[in-house]
Amino acid sequence: MTWVMLSLRKATLKSRMSDLQMQSLQLSQRIQDLQHYASSIADGSISMSEMANSPSSIFGTQMQYIAASSPIAYQSAQIKTTAYLQQMGQLQMDTQGQYQLVTDPTGATSDVDPYLVFNEIYKQELKEYSKQIGEKVHAEEKELESQRLRIESQLKAAEAEYESVAKQEDSNIKNDAIRLA
């Protein structure tokens, strides 16, 4: 009657294998979603087409990125633009206008446009923020990948045990069968 115990073990292993396969599938999906998220924020902003084509599981994360990135970049760009313009003004005063003459002998750019300076710094800050978030996403991807590999190895071990138990069960059924001869 040991084949009954083997049948129960086989059913338990089948259930465990199913659970491990589901966990592996969920982790693989999460990894794909994170890769999509990382690629959509790589340039510092998320376009409307990227939002429309994003998986529903990361839509909220993308909305949080948009809500957080703009104010952070805006505040940093304001501070850096003000500092840059003050530094350029001080440099012009210290050199009595000679610095501008050296950098632009034609005099075509007599004044620095604060909006253009701000806009350029703002774009740089968005890219820097996306780089920071990208590093966090990459670290999470690596962690999920290691979990997935651990689950895959557990799944392979469970499959090997399942095959072994199935062979033992078949052997025990043959041995316990009533022989009519």
* pLDDT per residue as tens digits for the range 96-142: 666 555 555 555 455 668 889 899 999 999 999 999 999 999 999 99
The predicted structure's pLDDT at residue 104? 57
* pLDDT per residue as tens digits for the range 23-79: 999 999 999 999 999 999 988 888 888 888 888 899 999 999 989 999 999 999 999
The predicted structure's pLDDT at residue 100? 59
Q: Where do the domains of the chain lie?
A: 2-176
Q: Which of 74, 51, 76 is nearest to 62 (CA)?
A: 51
Average pLDDT of 148-172?
A: 94
Under 8 Å CB-to-CB from 172, ≥6 apart: which residues?
2, 3, 6
